[in-house]
Amino acid sequence: MNFDLTPEQDQLRDAVRALGRKYGHGYFVEKARAGEHTTELWDDAGRLGYLGVNIPTEYGGGGGGITELAIVCEELAAAGCPLLLLVVSPAIVATVIAKHGTDDQRERFLPGMADGSLKVVFAITEPEAGSNFHRLGTVARRDGDDWVLSGRKCYISGVDEAQYVLVVARTEDASTGKLKPALFVVPTDAPGLTHSKLDMEIVSPENQFLLYLDDVRLPADALVGESLDAGLPALFAGLNPERITVAAMGAGTGRYAIERASDYTATRKVWGGRSIGSHQGVSHPLAHAAVQVELARLMIYKAATLYDAGRDLEAGVAGNMAKYAAGEAAALAVDTAVQALGGAGMTTEYGVATLLGAVRAGRIAPVSREMILNFVAQHVLGQDKSY
C-alpha cells in the first residue's frame, strides 16, 4: 500500500497551488460579484497544461488520469478558486469523448479541451425527471441523416461560456420505459437551442441555466460514438470522474476554509494573552473538520487510483463514498470556519462565508447525498431498491 504521490504528481500539486494562490479567493469573488468569469485563471491553467492533464498526449493532453485532474481540482479549490467547469469539461466530457467518441470527435474536441480554448458543458438534469434519469424526456428523433432534439434541461452550469453542450437525450423508439440514452454534442449557438440564467444563492463566477431544445437539428456526427449502443457506456464513463473531481473540489474548499480560520484563531486574542484557538471550544471543531476533510481525501485518491487502474466497479463505490464524504466535510469545514472567525466569518473580506452556498450545493449536486446513500445501501449492503 502506498499513500505517496509520484514525484510528477507532487510537482503538479505544487505548481497548481502556486497558480491558484496567484489568483486567490479575492479574485474569484470579485469576478462572481461583477458577473464575470475567471477567464484569466482558466486560460493560464490551460496554457500550463493543467486543464488537459487527463487527456491523451496524442490530443495535446498530459496523458495522466483522473488522479492528476483531482489534484488540479483540489489545489485550485484549496487556493479559494473552486472551478466547477473543471468537473464538467475535462472530467466528464473529455472522458466521454476520449473513451467513447469517434476518431473524428476526438480530433475535433480533445485538443481544444486540453488547452482550455474549448469548453463543453454537460446537460442531463431535467425539471420533471430530477434525480431519476430513467425518466429523461429529452427526445432525439431521426430525420433522414439528421437528428432532431427536443426537451428541457435545468441547472446546467456554464452554458454562457461554452461552445458546446453534451446533451443526454433518449431515443424516441426506446418505449420500454428504461432509458436508452443517446449523447449529442450540440453547439451552444445551434438554432432552436436557447438558455436562460437561473438566479442561484451561490457566490460563483460560473452560472446555472435552463436550457430549451426546440427541434434542434444536428448532423449525424453529433451523436457520440459510432452507433446508438455507445450511449449507455458513454454516459456511465462520465460519472466516476465527475464524482471524484467534484469531491476533490470539496476537499480543497474544506482545506481552504480550515486554513483561513486556523490562521485567524491562532493569533486573535480577546481574553488577555491567550489566542481564541487555545480554547478547545474553538480548536476542537476545527480539528474535527480537518479530520473529516482528510478522511475524504483518502477516499478520493483511493477512488481515483482505482479508476485509473481500470477497476470501474470498485471505483464507482469508492467514488460515490468519496463524493458523499467530501460533500459533508466541505460543508462542515466552511460552517465551522465561519463560527471560529466570529463576526469576521460573515464578512466578505475574510472570504469564508462566500463559500457557504457552494458547499451547501455540494451536498445536492451533481448527485445528492440521499442518492449516494441509496447506491451504497443497494450495491454495498445488498438492500432492496426503495424507489
Binding ligand FAD (rule: CB under 6 A), the pick from 70, 83, 91, 123 is 123
Residue list 246-285, contact with ligand FAD (CB under 6 A): none
Q: Which of 64, 60, 66 is nearest to 47 (CA)?
A: 60
Please give the grid coordinates belonging to residue 167. Answer: 446533451
Pick the stretch among 33-41, 55-63, 123-131, 233-241 that binds ligand FAD (CB under 6 A): 123-131
Q: At residue 361, what are phi and psi to the nearest 5 degrees? A: -65, -30
Binding ligand FAD (rule: CB under 6 A), the pick from 157, 253, 292, 354 is 157
Binding ligand FAD (rule: CB under 6 A), the pick from 27, 28, 42, 122 is 122
Binding ligand FAD (rule: CB under 6 A), the pick from 130, 146, 214, 217 is 130
Closer by beta carbon to ligand FAD, 155 or else 301: 155
Q: With contacts defined by CB under 6 A, how many residues of the chain interact with ligand FAD?
A: 23
Closer by beta carbon to ligand FAD, 119 or else 302: 119
Residue list 296-335, contact with ligand FAD (CB under 6 A): none
Pick the stretch among 11-19, 116-124, 283-291, 343-351 that binds ligand FAD (CB under 6 A): 116-124
Q: Does 367 bind ligand FAD (CB under 6 A)?
A: yes
Binding ligand FAD (rule: CB under 6 A), the pick from 174, 210, 365, 376 is 365
Residue list 61-100, contact with ligand FAD (CB under 6 A): 88
Closer by beta carbon to ligand FAD, 228 or else 364: 364
Q: How many CB atoms lie within 10 A of CB 134?
A: 10
Shortest reach from residue 40's CB to ligand FAD, in Å: 22
Please give the grid coordinates belonging to residue 349. Answer: 473580506
Closer by beta carbon to ligand FAD, 54 or else 374: 374
| Residues 116/189, Cβ–Cβ less than 8 Å | no
Binding ligand FAD (rule: CB under 6 A), the pick from 27, 155, 164, 301 is 155
Q: At residue 119, what are phi and psi to the nearest 5 degrees? A: -115, 130
Q: Which of 234, 64, 202, 39 is nearest to 117 (CA)?
A: 39
| Residues 247/325, Cβ–Cβ less than 8 Å | yes
Closer by beta carbon to ligand FAD, 124 or else 306: 124
SS3 of residue 2 by DSSP: coil
Residue list 193-222, contact with ligand FAD (CB under 6 A): 202, 208
Kindly give the pairing relationship between strand 146-157 and strand 164-171.
unpaired
Closer by beta carbon to ligand FAD, 208 or else 292: 208
| Residues 305/298, Cβ–Cβ less than 8 Å | no
Using the Cα atoms of residue 17, residue 19, residue 328 and residue 66 in order, give the sign of their dihedral: negative
Q: Does 377 bind ligand FAD (CB under 6 A)?
A: no
Facing residues of 152 across strands? 212
Q: How many CB atoms lie within 10 A of CB 162?
A: 21
Q: Does 354 bind ligand FAD (CB under 6 A)?
A: no
Shortest reach from residue 130's CB to ligand FAD, in Å: 3
- Whole-number Cα distances in Å, 206 to 35, 37, 95, 96, 340: 9, 7, 21, 22, 28
Please give the grid coordinates belonging to residue 50. Answer: 493543467
Shortest reach from residue 371's CB to ligand FAD, in Å: 5
Binding ligand FAD (rule: CB under 6 A), the pick from 95, 125, 171, 320 is 125
Kindly give the pairing relationship between strand 181-187 and strand 164-171.
antiparallel
Q: How many CB atoms lie within 10 A of CB 221?
A: 13
Q: Which of 24, 20, 157, 154 is nearest to 89 (CA)?
A: 157
Q: Which residue minimizes CB distance to ligand FAD?
A: 130
SS3 of residue 194 by DSSP: strand
**Alpha-carbon span 353 to 242, nearest angstrom:** 25
Closer by beta carbon to ligand FAD, 132 or else 267: 132
Binding ligand FAD (rule: CB under 6 A), the pick from 44, 295, 368, 377 is 368
Q: Does 224 bind ligand FAD (CB under 6 A)?
A: no
Q: Does 147 bind ligand FAD (CB under 6 A)?
A: no
| Residues 355/203, Cβ–Cβ less than 8 Å | yes
Which residues here bind ligand FAD, judged by CB under 6 A?
A: 88, 121-125, 130-131, 155-157, 202, 208, 361, 364-368, 370-371, 374, 387
